[in-house]
Amino acid sequence: MPSTDQASATSPSALSGAHLIAASQVDAWIQGLHAAGDLDGPSAQELQASFSWRVTRPIRAVRARERVALLRQQRRILFPRQARVTSGVDHGRQAFEQRVRTVAPALLPHSGAAELRALPLERVLSELVQQVQGSGSKAELWLLVIAVSGCFPDQQMLFGLARDIVGVSGSSAAQRILNHSAVWTLRYHAQLRTIRLVSTEPVVFTDQTAKFGFNSGIQRVTRQTVSRWAGRERFQLAALTDDGAALRTLSAEESARVLDWQGDDDRHRDDEKTEPDETAAELVVPWQTTVFFPEVPVGRGTDSLAALTRFSPNRTVAIGYDTIPVSSGHLVHRGLSGLFVSYLSTIKYVDEILAISNATASEFIGFSEALATQGLPGFEVSTLHLPIEHIPADDGEPPAEASLPVVLSVGSNEPRKNQLAVIFASEILWREGLEFSLVLLGGRGDRLYTDIPDAVAALRDQGRQIELRRDVDEHALAAAYRRARFSVFISLQEGYGLPIAESLAVGTPALATEYGSTAEIAAGGGCVTADPRDDRSIVDGMRALLTDDALLERLHDEIEARDDSTWEAYSADVWKVVSAPAASAPAAWAGAAQKPTGTQK
């Protein structure tokens, strides 16, 4: 296939010759942005959290209606006059021109790059408006808005603008695009942002993993998967800007958090969030490539990501962990269910979900099928089981033998983990005369849920051998597993059941939930299963593991014989999916309300 330059050299110009915008209009627009936007002032989020923002709401509503009326009358929004700082305006114009010229070859693929470079900025912008208005493509409008505003639009903004430019002249459409975009540019202080258009390699969403040093389940999967691609494959890491208005490149420190992960050794890593200088970052704009979500985006930024997954001509793939916050909302913190809805609003437009277990796949298939009630085709769902993760031994001396058998229960402080049932079963066995120590480990979870610490305190007052520890590091966790006679994880619902995998990884048998994803892990050997809703079943399982040495020996043999996947194999399998050719030809859905998605399998 000839290059764009080669094609333009042998064929007449594909440009329309449109003159929809004068240079003076572009200059006035940029100067207006600079005059109205204080780059050192508070962000939109800071303003909205202030008292003055709340008390001036009626005034803002009136001003908003005035602006809408001006737009309908095809009149420009006039910004307040302030002192003009030439350098700031010049920088704003340079950034604006960089964004517009970067997207021009993508939106005008039949025009030569040299031809586009020779055109003045206002002519390039005119050609882009002419193309987008003529095609009616929301995918193309999505990209043009990013170029003009320096922000990713959300669905509401995109629909509003698309409707506003229907049936008007080209010059009016151009002015309306500038006016709508100006609102977003000012809201997010985006005057000086530049963009990087990514079309030749996958874009990988690594937001929390890049910004924080903690290594919980999702971050662990992200790091173990993506870090193995470094140096072998080509891909672009991206995180959300702090305002959630766009994807951006990572700082060197953030990239190291994702890619330079030394196995499970996080003893020298912290949970503090870095504050990178985002002025040095470029916006990452995927176009006709694959966008991969190994993380779960929730809250701020999901409105813009939903527009990306719905309208942009990109193939989108996500790892599916679980849908527990909505399928079992009574088992999680009340605020999490609301946040999780923003995630579902984003992933309902993706092309493929890679579930971490068959149980999780069933949940996402159910959600995908339910999308038919919204007129959406749903997405493909396939299963890639997580590997059994190796937890390294500590460099020091092996843990000392405990005077009593240790029963270990690992899980964060939340009702779903069902640790209260483990405590009750332990008390029954203590009353029967069995001697052992119960150790409960895990994150702090829901700080308002105090049943576990209250029960532990009450039993300790009675002289029971029970201990509660929160926020232990990886090596202390590994030592606790090795010290235990067996572990107990009888959660009511899990996407995977990481504590079972961790226990087996160090050779310690486990008592696991008899259904769902934990049962899938247990089926490989080394586990006894119980019904987490039946106290007697839990008591019987723990009694057997405490008293039956032959059973314990058999479980150890089963662990040795397990044939589990590795992180290397899992990472390679995910890359095969992510690097598969994206469905191209955005013209196929140029006028569609949303891009087509895959079918379930």
CATH of the domain at 265: 3.40.50
Which string of DSSP letters, residue by residue, matches 342-377? HHHHHHTT-SEEEESSHHHHHHHHHHHHHGGGGT--
Q: What was the pLDDT predicted at 396?
A: 56
Q: What was the pLDDT predicted at 284?
A: 98
Same domain? For 220 and 179 the reply is no
Asked whether residue 341 is domain-assigned, the answer is: yes
| Residue 285 near residue 197 (C-beta atoms within 8 A) | yes
Asked whether residue 566 is domain-assigned, the answer is: no
Same domain? For 373 and 435 the reply is no
Residue 326 identity (one-letter amino acid): V
Q: How far apart are CA 154 and CA 157, in angstroms?
A: 5
Q: How far apart are CA 376 and CA 72, in angstroms?
A: 32
- 236 pairs with which residues across the strands? 203
Q: What was the pLDDT predicted at 445?
A: 65
Q: What was the pLDDT predicted at 275?
A: 62
Q: Which domain holds residue 93?
A: 17-193
Q: What was the pLDDT predicted at 113?
A: 84
Low-confidence ranges of the chain (pLDDT < 50): 1-13, 77-85, 263-269, 584-601
Same domain? For 320 and 414 the reply is no
Same domain? For 234 and 372 the reply is yes
Same domain? For 267 and 245 the reply is yes
| Total tally of structural domains belonging to the chain | 3
Same domain? For 74 and 108 the reply is yes
Of all helices (H) and strands (E), which one includes residue 127? Answer: helix 121-135
**CATH for 505:** 3.40.50.2000
Q: Where does residue 356 fall: left (phi above 0), alpha (psi -120 to 50 degrees), or beta otherwise?
A: alpha
Same domain? For 260 and 349 the reply is yes
**Residue pointed to by tokens 């989108």:** 316
Q: What was the pLDDT predicted at 10?
A: 32
- 481 pairs with which residues across the strands? none
Same domain? For 186 and 208 the reply is no
Burial class (CB in 10 A: 0-12, 13-18, 19+), 546: buried
Q: What was the pLDDT predicted at 125?
A: 94
Asked whether residue 62 is domain-assigned, the answer is: yes
Same domain? For 270 and 352 the reply is yes
Same domain? For 287 and 420 the reply is no
Q: What was the pLDDT predicted at 56?
A: 63
* Residue in 478, 477, 466 with CA at minimum distance from that of residue 412: 477
At residue 310's C-alpha, the angle toward residues 308 and 313, to 5°, is: 70
